[in-house]
Amino acid sequence: MERAMYFLDQKDMPTHWYNVLPDLPEPLPPLRHPGTKEPLPREGPLPPPIFTDAVNKQEFSTERYIEIPEEVQEAYRTYRPTVLHRAYRLEKALDTPAKIFYKYEGTSQAGSHKPNTALAQAYYAKKEGVKRLITETGAGQWGSALAMACAFFSLECKVFMVRVSYHQKPGRRILMETWGSKIVPSPSSDTEVGRRLLAENPEHPGSLGIAISEAIQAAFGDDEAKYSIGSVVNHVLLHQTIIGEETRKQMEMADAYPDIIVGCVGGGSNFAGQFLPWIRDKLSGKKPDLRIICVEPKACPTLTKGPYTWDFGDEAGLAPIVLMYTLGHTFVPPGVHAGGLRYHGMSPIICHLYKLGLIEAQAVHQVATFEAGVKFARTEGIITAPEPCHDLRVAIDEALKCKESGEAKTILIAHSGHGHFDLAAYDEYLSGKLVDYEYPEEKVKEALAHLPQVPEG
Amino acid sequence: MERAMYFLDQKDMPTHWYNVLPDLPEPLPPLRHPGTKEPLPREGPLPPPIFTDAVNKQEFSTERYIEIPEEVQEAYRTYRPTVLHRAYRLEKALDTPAKIFYKYEGTSQAGSHKPNTALAQAYYAKKEGVKRLITETGAGQWGSALAMACAFFSLECKVFMVRVSYHQKPGRRILMETWGSKIVPSPSSDTEVGRRLLAENPEHPGSLGIAISEAIQAAFGDDEAKYSIGSVVNHVLLHQTIIGEETRKQMEMADAYPDIIVGCVGGGSNFAGQFLPWIRDKLSGKKPDLRIICVEPKACPTLTKGPYTWDFGDEAGLAPIVLMYTLGHTFVPPGVHAGGLRYHGMSPIICHLYKLGLIEAQAVHQVATFEAGVKFARTEGIITAPEPCHDLRVAIDEALKCKESGEAKTILIAHSGHGHFDLAAYDEYLSGKLVDYEYPEEKVKEALAHLPQVPEG
Per-residue pLDDT of B68-123, as tens digits, reads: 999 999 999 999 999 999 999 999 999 999 999 999 999 999 999 999 999 999 99
Q: CB B151 to CB A382 under 8 A?
A: no
Interface test with A, best of B77, B153, B168, B422 (most A CBs within 10 A): B77
User: Is A16-63+114-234 a CATH 3.40.50.300 domain?
Assistant: no
pLDDT number for residue B47: 83
**Are B5-12+78-111+240-448 and B16-63+114-234 in the same CATH fold?**
yes
Q: CB A378 to CB B88 under 8 A?
A: no
Q: Spelled out in words, what is the top-level CATH class assigned to the domain A5-12+78-111+240-448?
A: alpha beta
Looking at A268-272, A384-388, B316-320, which range is the least confident one?
A: B316-320
Contact A125, A146 (CB under 8 A): no
Residue A376's closest chain B neighbor by CA? B179
ipTM over 0.90: yes
Is the pTM higher than 0.80? The answer reads yes
For residue A144, name the pLDDT band (cuts at 50, 70, 90): very high
Q: CB A11 to CB B3 under 8 A?
A: yes
pLDDT at B314 over 90: no
pLDDT at A315 over 90: no
pLDDT at B1 over 70: no
DSSP B341: G
For residue A138, name the pLDDT band (cuts at 50, 70, 90): confident
Average pLDDT on B36-41 reads 94
Interface test with A, best of B150, B176, B179, B423 (most A CBs within 10 A): B423
Q: CB B171 to CB A420 under 8 A?
A: yes
Nearest to A423 among B79, B148, B175 (CB): B175
Q: What is the pLDDT of residues B122-154, one digit of tens each?
A: 999 999 999 999 999 988 899 999 999 999 999
pLDDT number for residue A169: 84
d(CA B287, CA B1) in angstroms, rounded, equals 27
| Strands of the A260-264 sheet, one edge to the other | A5-6, A84-86, A99-104, A410-415, A260-264, A291-297, A360-364
Average pLDDT on B241-263 reads 98
Average pLDDT on B284-303 reads 97
For residue A2, name the pLDDT band (cuts at 50, 70, 90): confident
pLDDT number for residue A1: 63
Q: How many CA atoms lie within 13 A of B13 on its CB side?
A: 28
pLDDT at A112 over 70: yes
d(CA B325, CA B309) in angstroms, rounded, equals 6
Encoded amino acid at B191, one letter: T
Average pLDDT on A138-151 reads 94
Nearest to B178 among A74, A151, A383 (CB): A383
pLDDT at B410 over 80: yes
Task: Chain B: give the shortest CA distance to residue A169, in Å.
Answer: 11
pLDDT number for residue A457: 66
Q: Give the helix/strand (H/E) hosting B162.
A: strand B156-162
Task: Chain A: give the shortest CA distance to residue B288, in Å.
Answer: 32
For residue B382, name the pLDDT band (cuts at 50, 70, 90): very high
> Where exactly are the structural domains of chain A?
5-12+78-111+240-448, 16-63+114-234
Helices (H) and strands (E) in chain B, counts: 17, 15
pLDDT at A402 over 90: yes
**Portion of chain B with pLDDT greater than 90, in percent:** 91
pLDDT number for residue A209: 84
d(CA B249, CA A165) in angstroms, rounded, equals 45
pLDDT at B298 over 90: yes
Distances B184 to B118, B163, B190 between C-alpha atoms, Å = 19, 8, 9
- Cβ contacts (< 8 Å) between A423 and chain B: which residues? 170-171, 174-175, 178
Q: What is the pLDDT of residues A271-308, one digit of tens each?
A: 999 999 999 999 999 999 999 999 999 999 999 999 99
Contact B302, B344 (CB under 8 A): yes
Average pLDDT on B364-389 reads 98
Nearest to B151 among A3, A171, A378 (CB): A378
Encoded amino acid at A229, one letter: I
Q: What is the pLDDT of residues A222-243, one digit of tens each?
A: 999 999 999 999 999 999 999 9
Q: What is the pLDDT of residues A32-41, one digit of tens each?
A: 999 999 999 9
